[in-house]
Amino acid sequence: MIRWKKRESADRANAVDNQTRRSLLNGMWLTLGGLALAEVAWLVGSFLKPLKHGATSDRSAAIVDAGPADRYSPSTVTAFPQGRFYLACLEDGGFMALSRRCTHLGCTLPWDPEKKQFACPCHASAFDIRGCVIKSPAPRPLDRFAVSIENKRVKVDTSRAIRRIGFDASEVVYVPAGP
């Protein structure tokens, strides 16, 4: 009789334990499900939320003001390490902004002012002041960034590197004539 009562109370304790475990697991699953739903709602909300008036993504932040155009002498190249580009002032005074990355495997290019060329330290590719390949293995010219001249100041839009297959005269930007 005593043994039977002991077994009965042990069974009751087990049942309570199982019930507690089950409700704990249910609680955990509910919490996890709630968190997942909240995350999905946040993602959908931030995707659908319109840009604030006047916001232009990061484009305006990517415009580098390189200063007055008359600061640059013809046939010179100036490095802008933070903007990841070189500003080339060509022989005729036109401007181009060229990527610092070699088009072979992406090494950073130094400008050699003596030889007037970008010489890659990795596999010896070389590029002229317009970024055109003068020595392989680089497969194509250096990427460029859009240049504009506003109030005689040179501005470079670093938001997008422009891939090219050769030199086009329209890529060169000049200071507009006039006062």
Rule CB under 6 A: which residues touch ligand FES? 102, 104-105, 107, 120, 122-123, 125, 137-138
Minimum distance, C-beta of residue 136 to ligand FES, in the bound complex (Å): 8
**E strand or H helix that includes residue 152:** none
Minimum distance, C-beta of residue 101 to ligand FES, in the bound complex (Å): 8
Six-digit token string for 109:
């290019």
Residue 36, exposed/middle/buried by CB under 10 A (0-12, 13-18, 19+)?
A: exposed
Minimum distance, C-beta of residue 119 to ligand FES, in the bound complex (Å): 9
Minimum distance, C-beta of residue 125 to ligand FES, in the bound complex (Å): 4
Complex with ligand FES: residue 95 or 118, whichever CB lies closer: 118
Complex with ligand FES: residue 66 or 100, whichever CB lies closer: 100
Complex with ligand FES: residue 142 or 154, whichever CB lies closer: 142
Six-digit token string for 129:
């002041």
